[in-house]
């Protein structure tokens, strides 16, 4: 958890600031925008400036602003399949045409057959929900696609701060400046995974023409974010508390992930893990004879609750389970992994795969 003393001090410092009678800048306070730009530079290698940043109420709020400000009615949008279902619903509710695009171990599949669209939504740092990282050649292919079809890219970097031994890959927003896609990438960051969802704060990094249209949409929507929250977050960011918290959290989550993966080692031939290089969840891919809904239902009877990929997928879902470990200790993850191993082995025995023991 975040250093409670630093957390309280940040809010105390914010409370001592003068109360303004103005609504404030709809893009966010200059101080927080500068702090977030510096944060994105340190954590993700993104060369953003304060004037490129728009403070938002989180990822979905940012996506709603993009839909409102930048997409003509009835636009065609490409989206990872499986993918983030809430983002898909935002697009559908706004009346846009969502085109599902398959994902593999290297991320969104981009090839000569990829259709034109006005926008593509991707999670390249840790694909949700499969967990793969988009490889560098695929990133360059996507940027080339965007330049070729005059398209925008929404890069949702929802948990890019959490990597476990894997080398960092440059964000699409950073690569775009080196290609013909400069200015086409809207980078979405959030403090929900880093700090807590309760602060309801994220940010968009966008090129000036897009940024201006987003600020206009924000002004007409709600006049901008609350000043007191921004002040407290600025104190946490500029005081180095968020960076220290991330370093501690990364070590903690690495231990949890290691405990979980170790407890699932005995499933060779029955299941394998994907998406273990980053993030706060992994994906357990099951043998075709072990239907994910059946395994998930039996796990629920044992007190272990996991998700299948049905609701994240348009069409036939991968036969896999989504295992979130962000709120667990290493001991809890290990215990849960042992239950998963036992249940999968039991289901395998009933399916006639092998005489596995539950012991």
Single out the residue of 257, 306, 273, 317 nearest to residue 83, CA to CA. 317
Q: Specify the CATH class of 244-350 in words.
A: alpha beta
Total length of the chain:
359
Give the burial class of 66: count Cβ atoms within 10 A of its Cβ; 0-12 exposed, 13-18 middle, 19 or more buried.
Answer: buried
Per-residue pLDDT tens for 300-359?
999 999 999 999 999 999 999 999 998 899 999 999 999 999 999 999 999 888 766 544
| C-beta separation of 275 from 282 below 8 A | yes
Q: What percent of the chain has pLDDT over 70?
A: 98
The pLDDT mean for the chain works out to: 92
Model-wide pTM > 0.85: yes
Per-residue pLDDT tens for 18-64?
888 788 899 999 999 999 999 999 988 898 999 999 999 999 999 99
- Give the C-alpha separation, 196 to 325, whole Å: 15
- Give the C-alpha separation, 181 to 133, whole Å: 20
For the chain, the straight-line distance linking the first and the last C-alpha, in angstroms and rounded, comes to 35
Kindly report the number of other CB atoms within 10 A of residue 319's CB atom: 19
Of 97-106, 174-183, 290-299, 325-334, minimum mean pLDDT range: 174-183
Mean pLDDT for the stretch of residues 68-93: 96
Domain boundaries, the chain: 4-239, 244-350
Q: Quick one: pLDDT at residue 359?
A: 40
- Indicate whether 275 pLDDT > 90: no
Alpha-carbon radius of gyration of the chain = 21
- Give the C-alpha separation, 30 to 11, whole Å: 18
- Just give the CATH number of 4-239: 3.40.640.10
The alpha carbon of residue 318 and the mean position of all alpha carbons in its chain are separated, in whole angstroms, by 20
């Amino acid at each position: 958890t975040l250093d409670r003393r630093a957390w309280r001090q940040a809010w105390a410092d914010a409370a001592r600031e003068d109360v303004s009678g103005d609504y404030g800048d709809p893009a966010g306070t200059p101080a927080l925008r500068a702090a977030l730009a510096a944060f994105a530079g340190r954590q993700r290698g993104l060369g953003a400036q304060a004037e490129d940043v728009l403070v938002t109420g989180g990822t979905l709020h940012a996506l709603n602003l993009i839909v409102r400000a930048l997409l003509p009615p009835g636009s065609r949008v490409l989206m990872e399949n499986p993918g983030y279902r809430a983002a898909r619903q935002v697009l559908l509710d706004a009346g846009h045409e969502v085109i599902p695009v398959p994902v593999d171990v290297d991320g969104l599949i981009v090839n000569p057959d990829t259709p034109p669209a006005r926008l593509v939504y991707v999670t390249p740092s840790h694909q949700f929900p499969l967990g793969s990282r988009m490889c560098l050649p695929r990133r360059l292919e996507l940027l080339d696609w965007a330049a070729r079809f005059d398209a925008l890219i929404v890069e949702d970097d929802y948990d890019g701060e959490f990597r476990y031994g894997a080398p960092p890959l440059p964000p699409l927003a950073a690569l775009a400046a080196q290609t013909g896609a400069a200015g086409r990438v809207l980078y979405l960051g959030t403090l929900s995974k880093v700090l807590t969802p309760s602060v309801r704060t994220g940010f968009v990094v966008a090129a000036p023409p897009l940024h201006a249209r987003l600020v206009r949409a924000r002004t007409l929507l709600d006049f901008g974010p609350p000043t007191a929250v921004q002040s407290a977050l600025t104190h946490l960011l500029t005081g180095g508390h968020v960076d220290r918290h991330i370093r501690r959290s990364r070590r903690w989550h690495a231990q949890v992930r290691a405990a979980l993966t170790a407890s699932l080692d005995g499933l060779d031939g029955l299941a394998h893990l994907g998406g273990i290089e980053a993030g706060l969840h992994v994906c357990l891919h099951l043998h075709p004879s072990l239907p994910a809904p059946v395994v998930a239902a039996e796990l629920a009877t044992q007190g272990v609750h996991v998700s299948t990929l049905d609701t994240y997928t348009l069409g036939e879902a991968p036969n896999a389970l989504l295992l979130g470990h962000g709120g667990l200790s290493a001991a809890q993850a290990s215990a849960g992994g042992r239950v998963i191993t036992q249940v999968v082995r039991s289901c395998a025995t009933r399916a006639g795969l092998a005489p596995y023991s539950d012991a």
